[in-house]
Structure 1
Amino acid sequence: MKEQDVLPAAVSAAYGYCETVTGAEAKNFAYGIRLLPGDKRRAMSAVYAFSRRVDDIGDGTLAPEEKTRRLNECRELLERVRTKDVAEDDTDPVAVALADTARRFPVPLGALDELIDGVLMDVQGRAYRTWDELADYCRCVAGAIGRLSLGIFGVRPGARDRVHAPEYANTLGLALQLTNILRDVREDAANGRTYLPAEDLDKFGCSAGFGSATLPEGADFPGLVHFEVRRARALFDEGYQLLPMLDRRGGACVSAMAGIYHRLLDRIEQDPDAVLRGRVSLPAHEKAYVAVRGLAGVDAKAAARQRAGGQP
């Protein structure tokens, strides 16, 4: 879809709804996708709006049985999109926008099924003993979004090692999700959820939980955070190999989103206990600065130098 293409009124309104949802609910995501051309920005908003719907079901207060029923309705919506059974005047704007996106871009809709699978893990109260188990969950809820995004961004013709692009997109999604888990550790614990691997909690004496600012006696919470931060940084380093495969604006978008989370990770590393006091976030001016650096390719170049063993 070209910038000058005129969308049918109903489709334009559907995308407008999705962009409103994205702007209101996903500040970090919205900062990144504003660097994209209009057609890709709208498509990313459609993917986000569907994902937000799925996440809201999982995070809501409904009974598990009702959550499962509503998640199955989301699967039915996906099937309608696959079979091109969504009319432009459908009453669900997310369905209309997602169907138009799927017609215009080679998005792997199966990744959204994986997202639903991941949220069902939350509904079922699944816990994670090892990193490999948690990584499976992260691939569903975040790696899947990375692969969907790649379908919209596209890979530059002739890009070196392009066959591994989905793998790098998936890994970058894991890095973002692990950063989210660290940021939200207290909020999740208050809601009865613990995502960090049980073997890591045991190692640092945090198995008794951290739902409040008071840690169990003998717990090394900073040690736990620094351990997970190192893991997240390794994921970022691998995932950043995606950036040279994208065109300038796609690379800027990914660089901006990843850069915001990378800086968030820096803040968490500097003051691990901050995540027990409240949500750690970046001010708007710093997000804007990261977005400008992403558009200029600065962070991508710095990441490349770091992987090559040079100085940032």
Structure 2
Amino acid sequence: MTMTTGVEAAYRRCEDITRSQAANFAYGIRLLPPVKRRALSAIYATARRIDDIGDGDLPPDEKLDRLAETRAALHRLPADGGGDAVLTALGHAATRMPIPLDAFDELIDGCAADVTGRRYATFDDLVWYCRCVAGSIGRLSLGVFGTAEPGPAAPLADALGVALQLTNILRDLVEDRADGRIYLPAEDLERFGCTLEPGGAGFADPPERLAALVRFEAARAARWYDTGLRLLPLLDRRSAACTAAMAGIYRRLLARIAADPLAVTRSRVSLPGREKAWVAARALVGRTA
């Protein structure tokens, strides 16, 4: 079916958002055929909007109101995009692919937890948060990719999301703490004798204890990658390449953090563009980084 001009423009808007704001994910998304690339861009643009509400400068009550309004708008899809380009594109995609739009409810729940300053006593508590804000995106993406084995594939997509979010948490320790957010479980902080209280250029914790904590969490995240990457054989070649590229970039980022745990206290750890492109190229020929 030919798309209308309005729908085409809506998808272009989502692709623009993805290119400009998804530095890591864009390397994988570009490996998809056009129909799937547009649909995944619509998912990303919607998720970006939700994240921006949670991370913005509004007072907490207003953020929660905006999140509730966004939830209500998503519940009206795919019937009514309300003239909003991002929602129009997402609604169009959802009429053509089995995208589980209710997974956005979990993303909103996770962002609401950020707004209210929720902290996590145990790793299981943290996994709940990771599944909300990243596992949900894995399951939404699976609706675009498609698979002949949705039963086994869904929890693997979820696990890969957890791995990516754990990597983000380690990378952003200092930035998150400056915003009053501590994600690492209280039980782990106690185990390693760390508080993540500010001090000097990073934290006041003894460097050797903080390094041990980061290595421990990095090893835990690596195990989630091992589980989540079992998704790849359940996808078609281009979808598997997209997934492998995105996961590969983050897994290499995690390896860099594990090799120098205190680097996260000095600057935001990242990969150069040429290395990301190399990971994406390997993914396209069926090789993971």
Normalised to the residue count of structure 2, the TM-score between the two structures is: 0.96
Identify which of 6, 17, 20 aligns with 1:21: 17
Q: How far apart, CA to CA, are the structure 1 residues paired with 2:76 and 2:104? A: 13
Q: Which residue of 2 aligns with 1:233?
A: 222
Q: Which residue of 2 aligns with 1:92?
A: 84
Amino acid at match of 1:85: D
CA contact (8 A) 1:212 1:276 kept: no
Amino acid at match of 1:103: T
Residue 244 (structure 2) pairs with residue 248 (structure 1): no
Residue 136 (structure 2) pairs with residue 144 (structure 1): yes
CA contact (8 A) 1:256 1:291 kept: yes
Q: Which residue of 1 aligns with 2:183?
A: 195
Task: Note the alpha carbon deviations across 1:71-112, whole angstroms, 9 max, x for none.
Answer: 011111111104x123xxx43101110110111110001100
Q: Which residue of 2 aligns with 1:309?
A: none
Change (3 A) 1:63 1:248: same
Q: Count matched residues.
A: 288
Please state whether the residue corresponding to 1:104 is helix, strand or coil.
coil
CA contact (8 A) 1:67 1:123 kept: yes
Structure 1 residues without counterparts, runs of 5 or longer: 303-312
Q: Which residue of 1 aligns with 2:27?
A: 31
Q: CA deviation at 1:179?
A: 0.2
Q: Which residue of 1 aligns with 2:173?
A: 185
CA contact (8 A) 2:203 2:265 kept: no
Q: Which residue of 1 aligns with 2:197?
A: 209
CA contact (8 A) 2:29 2:40 kept: yes
Q: How far apart, CA to CA, are the structure 2 residues paired with 1:15 and 1:30? A: 15
Q: CA deviation at 1:211?
A: 6.5
Residue 39 (structure 2) pairs with residue 47 (structure 1): no
CA contact (8 A) 1:44 1:149 kept: yes
Task: Note the alpha carbon deviations across 1:197-217, whole angstroms, 9 max, x for none.
Answer: 111111112115246534335
Change (3 A) 1:237 1:212: farther
Residue 46 (structure 2) pairs with residue 57 (structure 1): no
After superposition, residues 166-185 of structure 1 pair within 5 angstroms as 166-185=154-173
Task: Note the alpha carbon deviations across 1:41-91, whole angstroms, 9 max, x for none.
Answer: 000010011100100000011111100110011111111104x123xxx43
Q: Which residue of 2 aligns with 1:128?
A: 120
CA contact (8 A) 1:129 1:197 kept: yes
Q: How far apart, CA to CA, are the structure 1 residues paired with 2:256 and 2:117? A: 29
Q: How far apart, CA to CA, are the structure 2 residues paired with 1:208 and 1:93? A: 41
CA contact (8 A) 2:174 2:202 kept: no
Please state whether the residue corresponding to 2:203 is helix, strand or coil.
coil
Normalised to the residue count of structure 1, the TM-score between the two structures is: 0.89
Q: How far apart, CA to CA, are the structure 1 residues paired with 2:84 and 2:282? A: 37
Please state whether the residue corresponding to 2:48 is helix, strand or coil.
helix
Please state whether the residue corresponding to 1:179 is helix, strand or coil.
helix
Q: Which residue of 1 aligns with 2:282?
A: 293
Task: Note the alpha carbon deviations across 1:10-42, whole angstroms, 9 max, x for none.
Answer: 001001111111111111111111000000000
Please state whether the residue corresponding to 1:107 is helix, strand or coil.
coil
CA contact (8 A) 2:162 2:224 kept: yes
Please state whether the residue corresponding to 1:298 is helix, strand or coil.
coil
CA contact (8 A) 2:195 2:205 kept: no
CA contact (8 A) 1:57 1:70 kept: yes
Task: Note the alpha carbon deviations across 1:184-203, whole angstroms, 9 max, x for none.
Answer: 01000011100111111111
Change (3 A) 1:22 1:218: same
Change (3 A) 1:217 1:292: closer
Q: Which residue of 2 aligns with 1:306?
A: none
Q: How far apart, CA to CA, are the structure 2 residues paired with 1:218 and 1:9? A: 59
CA contact (8 A) 2:197 2:205 kept: no
Task: Note the alpha carbon deviations across 1:109-140, whole angstroms, 9 max, x for none.
Answer: 11001100110000111000110000000000
| Superposed CA RMSD | 1.4
CA contact (8 A) 1:187 1:211 kept: no
Residue identity (%): 57
Change (3 A) 1:26 1:8: same
Change (3 A) 1:212 1:34: farther
